[in-house]
Structure 1
Amino acid sequence: MTPYEHYEVEDFMQDEFFIEWVLHPSENSNAFWSGWLMHNPDRQPVLERARAIVSSITVKPVARELADTEVRSIIDHVRLNGFKTEQPVPTIKILFRTGWFQAAAVILICFTAALLIYRQVDVKQVLSQTNNEFIQVSNQSNQSKLVRMNDGSLAVLHPASVLRYPSRFNGSSRNVYLSGEAFFEVHKNPRKPFLVHSQNMITRVLGTSFTVRAFKDENAFKVIVNTGKVLVYADKQQAHKINAKSVTLLPNQEVTFDHNQIVLKKDTLQTPLLLSKEVATDKFTFNNAPLSQIIARLNEAYAIHIVYDHEKLGNQTLTASLSDLPLDEKVKLICKAINAQCSFDGGQIKILNP
């Protein structure tokens, strides 16, 4: 457990790594703090308050140096009288000079004034913009939930699991954060890899289908591949490096990650997965099959419940090959064939009567 779990606003404002992230965010620091927030959602209000304050602070150099007596006078004034203002102050401009004492004094002035202004400044707009950057889906039900991301990728989020992802995938990679278990069907994009962060384990793909199981209270995490190729890293920093050490998984292979010993163990599954190509070609090719049979096959493969009117639609028949399609496209094709409508709202898949 990192000390950040126990940080209050004042602690974050004195943390160099945190301040660097707020003022000069990078892909790695964004990934770290987003992952930390996903695993510590109860600390988000504290972090966001500190982030809003740090964002409002700028340091502006001036030609004139401050005398030691002036610096001490400013510190005493702030301590005794506070920082008075009738209007919310969006930016705190600090004057500084070289020298250890002046540098330390500036930090103290900045920190003290910011804490005082924090109680007066309305940071709702800042927090709203920050909160809108990520979407967090928590599945507290007893059924899996479908999550559709803006790049076309899908996740089937299992019960007692949380998935956090950006509203839009900007930058050179697509980063999502999982606590629990989910099946992913990733939209292929060779120029923008898809990374699933699960505490210290990272799963990296370009476009494939796989399952990640990473519950916080379990000693071992697991990645199982259905289609394509997956790279698994036991170190967060390694996933962003070229030629970094990783375990490569192909269809019907899995890796177990012991996060206590930081060890990855690779195995081949004894029974091929239903969605792996050699099985899917047979299992998802239907010839005049009733809808009830097709839905049962989808439920089995994806571990997700599809809602439909069994009495009215169960005997509708379909002839088609669905093996190469992602889940949502499978459902759309089925609905088109039987002249029905489909809905993906609220994490549920529904086939509606024509």
Structure 2
Amino acid sequence: MTVLLRSLQTAVPPTVLKQAEARDVFAAQEGLTRLGTRLVRTCFDAAAIDTRHSAVAEFSWDLPDTAPDFFDPAAGRILNPSTKTRNDVFVREATPLFTETARGALEAADGIGPEDVTHVITVSCTGFFNPGPDYRVVRELGLRPSVQRFHLGFMGCYAAFPALRAAKLFCEADPNAVVLVAIVELCTLHVRSSNNPDTILGASLFADGAAAAVITARDLPLTRPALSLDAFETTLTPVGEDTMAWNIGDQGFEMVLGSYVPHIIDDHITGALEPLLAGDPALAGRPHNGIEHWAIHPGGRSIVDKVVARLGLSEAQAEPARETLREFGNMSSATIMFVFERILGLPLPDGESGAPGSERVCAMAFGPGLTIETALLTRVNP
């Protein structure tokens, strides 16, 4: 049975953060030590990011707000609102991103309508509300009230993988199932000024974004490339529990993102891939760079650098991850869907129609734990 990701829709909020401008704002904050200022400039400049997007309209210099919560443009000062204030913005701004991307993915799935959806899976680690985004998607898209709903919360950057794995399992259990997955992460709600290296690193990387996909095993004609969800694996590294974490504080959620994370991934990525690749006889003994496409979660430039060097990948194979990072930053669990979108948009082999099953994709993401999620997919061409 072939389970396909048949359509994919992505979106970002309208406020654009230019990396150089954001760097200068963070570096000018009161209370920064000389070391803190140097760390801000180093982290922002080394991030390999040009632009990011934010759901916080106040981060635009053009907003005439006399009582700002997040940013005072007149003083150039980053404010420190409460967790409730930040979460209230999540409720207001995340809801339309969930519903609009879900609607777009459903409209792009040929032969499937709202009445066909059997499961909804929503994902986020940057805010909470209930009735939640799963409920909103069902109500606002006019789905059947009997649709089974699931929300994966607070898992971090790798959460798209368990969502897609669950969708695959639902479709294998019921070949008529149609699963709608929707992901929204509003990471910039939790930025703050600090001398803490983890906080500075997070402020230089994280961004907001949304994605949705329709997954089904139904036998329907293809009009555009799709992704076959072939296999998934999960690995917990023996070290690193304290180097990546996501905690709830009084002034927002607090990121722990140690500088040693890329080294841990470097040490353990080949071992994490072994059980995934061993399960496919066609890949047994094949060099890593012999797999056509690599969907690497760009948690940061150094993470992509380590994976590319350790696996011997080409820059062409790394380009979907690097370009996603450059244009959008790290949007937590939504990011890998943007990488998939780039791979789906690549030209067909030799400019001609490819044979179904001809292009393999190996995907990976990293998160608290330290957790490494991996997946094998196939780009199926129409």
> What TM-score do the two structures reach when normalised by structure 2?
0.24
Rg larger in structure: 1
Point out which structure has higher relative CO (alpha carbons under 8 A, 6+ apart). Answer: 2
Greater helix share, 1 or 2? 2
Q: Under a length normalisation based on structure 1, what TM-score does the superposition of the two structures give? A: 0.26
